[in-house]
Homo-oligomer: A and B are copies of this chain.
Amino acid sequence: MTGAADATFAALADPTRRALFERLVRDGERTVGMLTKGTRVSQPAVSKHLGILKSAGLVRDRREGRQIHYSVRPQGLRPLANWMSFYGAFWRDRLDSLESLLKRMDQ
């Protein structure tokens, strides 16, 4: 249940890792070398982070010659989306009703 979201949350909790993921989302498939540039950390660090993202199902890799290309794996965000919709259903309502209340009070 909540176990599925576990690796996902853990993987995205680290800022460096989230930055890598976001970059892959924005820029599409990139090699490790490309990703290393733009980060303040070493190549091994990037590789380790990518490994964690990969085992969390958030990215996939593809070998092409001596380079390895990483890209976002869309379904990887599923556990997060599920969790959000599950435990977010009630608060979204409350938030919406709060907002409409504030708007009404503002008038």
Contacts and interface: CB of A to CB of B under 8 A. Distances in A.
Interface in A68-97: 72, 74-75, 77-78, 80-81, 84, 87-88, 90-92, 94-95
* A-side interface mostly: helix
Given A72-B91, A74-B91, A74-B98, A18 B22 contact: no
A81 B88 contact: yes
Give the copy number: 2
A84 B81 contact: yes
19 contacts: A2-B15, A2-B19, A2-B22, A6-B15, A9-B18, A22-B87, A25-B90, A25-B91, A72-B91, A74-B94, A74-B95, A74-B98, A77-B87, A77-B88, A77-B91, A78-B95, A80-B84, A81-B88, A84-B84
